[in-house]
Amino acid sequence: MSKVVNIEKNLPHTVAELMCVNCLNRWVGAFPSDKWLSDLECPHCFKKGFIINTGEEMEEKIREAGQWK
C-alpha cells in the first residue's frame, strides 16, 4: 500500500526563475516559501549555495504566453 502524503506539507510555495551563479544554469523552480535559496541545489551542477532569484515576474510571463487562467 502507498504512503499517504499530506498535500499541505508542500504549501505555500514560490515559483521563480532561478539561476546558479556557479554554472550559469537558468530554470523555473518551485520550492517551499520558507526555504532559503542557499539551501536549493542546482539541477545542473548539483551544488548548493549558488542559487539566486533572477527577479523575473512569472505571472507576467505566463500571461504573455497565453497560459494564464
Residue 14: partners with Cβ closer than 8 Å, 6 or more residues away: 30, 31, 32, 33
Q: What is the pLDDT of residues 19-49, one digit of tens each?
A: 999 999 999 998 888 899 999 999 999 999 9
46 is written with which cell numbers?
A: 548539483
8 A C-beta contact, residue 20 and residue 44: yes
- Residue bearing the bigger pLDDT, 13 or 42: 42
8 A C-beta contact, residue 39 and residue 50: no
For the chain, what is the mean pLDDT? Answer: 84
Q: How many CB atoms lie within 10 A of CB 57?
A: 12
- Residue bearing the bigger pLDDT, 65 or 23: 23
Note the pLDDT of residue 67.
59
| Sign (positive or negative) of CA dihedral 60, 31, 23, 52 | positive
Q: What is the mean pLDDT of residues 45-62?
A: 85
